[in-house]
Structure 1
Amino acid sequence: MTSSADRCTVISADCHAGADLLDYKPYLATRYHDEFDAWAAGYVNPYEDLLADTADRNWNSERRLAELEADGIVAEVVFPNTIPPFFPSASLMAPVPTREELERRWAGLRAHNRWLADFCAAAPGRRAGVAQILLNDVEQAVREVRWARDHGLTGGILLPGVPPGSGIPELYSPVYDPLWAVCAELGVPVNHHGGSASPPLGEEPAARAVFMVETTWFSHRALWHLVFGGAFHRHPALRLVLTEQGSGWIPGVLEMLDYYHGRLVAAAGRAATAESRFGTGLAAAMGASPGEVWRENCYVGASFMRPHEVPLRHRIGLEKIMWGSDYPHDEGTWPYSREGLRLAYAGLPREEVAAMAGGNAARVYGFDMELLAPHAARVGPAFAELAEPPAEVPADATSPAFAPGGKVRVW
């Protein structure tokens, strides 16, 4: 009989869920029920995957557990996916025209968070739910962080992107210090998910292509905003997780950030030059260099890590990398997560695979590996299986993890 020691405990650090639209109503304060009924009656969902027969993967707890287990996954970090009440789309940065509309959207996010707490409780120890907040009202955000932590949402919070022209302060602004402080105090991870920080570009074919080229870059911006803004210097226990933005970019960006940091700090100590004013006060505000901040405070939800990214794992930080399946999205690795793991990690030392496939996520999000061990013994992929690359890519796989040109390699 195969034991848990022979099998990998796979934790997906990037999954998505949410309630069916009308099922949010019981989680709304009763004063919003009539408004919700009117809103829901006229709402047209813009997302095809939420209208398909498979949409219930977002909220059908039993189906979800069964499909994830069949894919070798025993636990998951749960990001949002469906539309919260009173939002035109899933974007947390959708324009807010009035104070009343802002209040309704806060009510909608609270409804989602409360639904998510129940959804996570339906599978004890196997789901780390990520709570949603808005940045328009920092005091309300702080209260929601405390509520989420007190009610078992161990996935932390989803940090909304702040695209250019959003009308709210940039992420480096000290106005957000109360938010960073409460997250540091409670050990709540701050998650920044790819795709949420791009400015609107329109629907022209060129605009859609430009979005694909730029979307991860706009998501990366949260890293240097918080680093140069000194958030980690003022709140040393703060943790930032960058999810579904790739991972191969990290070493080069850290080198670039260290370069600018060193250059500006040095310039500030010299006689007045055109550049010296850019570095004035930077060293005192930041404390450590960007590279040091990354090593102490930051992690990457690398999702379906691609083979070409794996050789960079030690430069990224082996202890920083968390694999994710992106279930139930089309670009995710389901139902071929075993093949995705084998494609990326075949030939690596067993302890490295164990860390990236689950151990790191357990440490960041507080999963109990002993609790998960019996599930891994039942459904987890064997380390011997993961040690071998797949003979071929599944013909119907839709994840970029299997994109043409991604060679099957053994490291």
Structure 2
Amino acid sequence: MSQPYVVVSADAHAAPDDIDQFVSYVDPAHREAVAAFGDLSSTAMTMLGGHDPGEIDDPDPVRATAARRLAGMGVDVDAAADWLSRYSTDWVFAGDANGKRLAVLEEQGIHAEVTYPGPVLTGGISPAMYLGSVTDTGLDAVWPALHGYNRWLAEFCAAAPGRRAGVIPVDLHDLPRAIDELRWARDNGIFGGVMLPAMSVRSKLPGYADEYFDPFWSACEDLGIVVNLHTGASGTATDSKYLYDDDHGGMLGLYEVFVFTRRPLWFMIFGGVFDRHPKLKVVVAENGVQWLPSLVRDMESFFDTHGGAPVRSHLKLRPSEYVEQHVYLAGSLMKRYEAEMCQEVGVTKLMWGTDYPHLEGAVPVHREVMRHIFSGLPEAEVRAMLGENAMELWDFDEVALREAAERVGPTTEEVARPLALTEFPETFSWSLARPVPLTARP
């Protein structure tokens, strides 16, 4: 019998349980400002280049906005709320919850996770919001909020040593402060890396091709810190109202959120960042998989033809070679056809993720999801995507992960058993290529 699979979710989210807990980690002198920002105040939304939710005629504009987005995507909001009220307290934990989160994941056959900032469940606040500021006006609350989250994150990761790779948010308007935060994170046992803004067109900061960021990249190299680009971490060209409008179902904004998350890659490649910083590693998370081969072909074509002479004169490698050496994908919400593309994408750079505890994920049926996605594929490829690639990239405790795999599985035989979408038990998820079973019918 083969060794069981080690399973690392390369995309998950973690946050304090509520705004009060989050704010308790913030320096007392800044708590009032951070709480106001977290409530999506007019100042905060202006910084993000969007609209004040106060324009929405509802006593709880944050939740009303979320409901509008779900409805626009064709989800039966009432049915979703009913499902959540019955099941979420058993399966969904934003933080450690006295070990309950780890127990749920082990039951699902998951042994470790890379955790990105996520919304505080009861308030709508997300530390990732602070990444998206498009102006330096009103930034007084930003660093206290970011460091407050990172303090909480250190405790969260320490509750499961070597099994949680927390990813810190930073603000890049103040590079020395950002570099200090990288060092602080490493000194406090946080090893998931750093989460960057996705280069909003409204930002006053230069693009990532600019040498302004070189001291930051150097610090990431020196400290062995992975650079993470996560979908939703600020910035689209579309006004934020299109994320929630009824006419388009949020599709305009949603599509651009995905595209803008990838945008730093061509800035870094054609800007020579990887020549100047050859040890840098970049992960693109929760952004799909199928786009990367197409992007590489496009970059190769432009490199050889349209206006490619200037970059050919100063770059040491071709675009495809930079991608091969520096870029990884955390394929959260991965579809089977994407797993089948692993040789084209690069089997050593593709990692599976759950997006836990977000609704786009598949709790409580991740074992079934693994069977649906990976059954019939070569065992070596499945091992790489499920966990070995992530263990190679991040500083997980390999001994602890393999012990957990021996204890709870999944076995190779379990994952090898095919499972069709129609055989899934009832759950609420977009990761199964269809909302199950709560899609609103016209």
* Short-chain TM bin: 0.7 to 0.9
The one-letter code sitting in structure 1 at the alignment partner of 2:13 is: H
Aligned twin of 2:203: 166
Show the counterpart of 1:121: 158
Query: Unpaired runs of 5+ in structure 1?
Result: 265-277, 406-411
The change in CA–CA distance for 1:141 and 1:381 in structure 2 (over 3 A counts) is: same
| Partner Cα separation in structure 2 for residue 23 and residue 210 of structure 1 | 34
- In structure 1, the residue matched to 2:129 is 91
Counterpart for residue 101 of structure 2:
64
Answer whether contact 1:333 1:398 (CA < 8 A) is retained.
Answer: yes
Question: Residue 331 of structure 2 aligns to a residue in which SS?
Answer: strand
1:286 to 1:333, Cα distance in 2 relative to 1, 3 A: farther
The amino acid that maps onto 2:93 is R
Paired position in structure 1 for 2:77: none
Partner of residue 298, structure 1: 327
Quick one: structure 1 residues 27 and 262, their matched pair in 2 at CA, closer, same or farther if it must change by over 3 Å? same
Residue number among 2, 6, 9 corresponding to 2:6 in the alignment: 9
Q: Distance in 1 between matches of 2:153 and 2:61?
A: 20
Question: Percent same amino acid among aligned pairs?
Answer: 34
Shift of 1:214: 2.8
Q: 1:40 to 1:349 in 2, by over 3 A?
A: closer
Q: Is the 8 A contact 1:86 1:105 kept in 2?
A: no
Q: Does residue 189 of structure 2 align to residue 152 of structure 1?
A: yes
1:336-372 deviation digits (Å, cap 9, x = unpaired): 1111111111111212111100010111111122221
In the alignment, the residues of structure 1 paired with residue 167 and residue 287 of structure 2 have an alpha-carbon distance, to the nearest angstrom, of: 17
Residue of 118, 123, 128 corresponding to 1:81: 118
Q: Which residue matches 2:76?
A: none
Deviates more, 1:170-179 or 1:117-126: 170-179
CA contact (8 A) 2:231 2:285 kept: yes
Q: What residue is the counterpart of 1:402 in the other structure?
A: 432
Are 1:205 and 2:246 matched, yes or no? yes
Indicate conservation of the 8 Å contact 1:156/1:191, yes or no.
yes
Q: Secondary structure at the match of 1:401?
A: coil
Distance 1:87-1:390 versus aligned 2 partners, 3 A rule? closer
The answer to whether structure 1 residue 225 and structure 2 residue 263 are counterparts is no
Structure 1: distance between partners of 2:371 and 2:388: 17
Task: Give the partner amino acid of 1:301.
Answer: A
What does residue range 189-338 of structure 1 map to in structure 2 within 5 Å? 189-196=226-233, 197-199=235-237, 200-202=239-241, 203-207=244-248, 208-264=250-306, 278-279=307-308, 281-338=310-367
Range with greater deviation from structure 2 (176-185 or 163-172): 163-172
Q: TM-score, normalised by structure 1?
A: 0.86
Are the aligned partners of 1:331 and 1:400 in contact in 2 as well (CA < 8 Å)? yes
- SS in structure 2 opposite 1:169? coil
Out of 159, 163, 168, the residue aligned to residue 131 of structure 1 is 168
- The residue number in structure 2 matching 1:269 is none
Q: Which amino acid aligns with 2:311?
A: L
What runs of 5+ residues in structure 2 fail to find an aligned partner? 42-59, 68-80, 436-442
The 2-side partners of 1:38 and 1:6 are apart by: 51
Q: Distance in 2 between matches of 1:381 and 1:322?
A: 17
Aligned residues: 388
Do the aligned partners of 1:88 and 1:94 also contact (CA within 8 Å) in 2?
Answer: no
Q: Structure 1 residues 23 and 248 mapped into 2: Cα distance closer, same or farther (>3 Å)?
A: same
Match of 1:339 among 368, 374, 386: 368
Query: Structure 1 residue aligned with 2:22, among 21, 24, 29?
Result: 24
TM-score normalised per structure 2 = 0.80
- Alpha-carbon distance in 2 for matches of 1:299, 1:124: 24
Quote the Cα distance in structure 2 between the aligned partners of 1:155 and 1:220: 19
Counterpart contact for 2:19–2:125, Cα < 8 Å: no
Amino acid of the residue matched to residue 214 of structure 1?
A: E
Deviates more, 1:142-151 or 1:237-246: 142-151
Measure how far apart 1:226 and its partner are.
1.1
Aligned to 1:354: 383
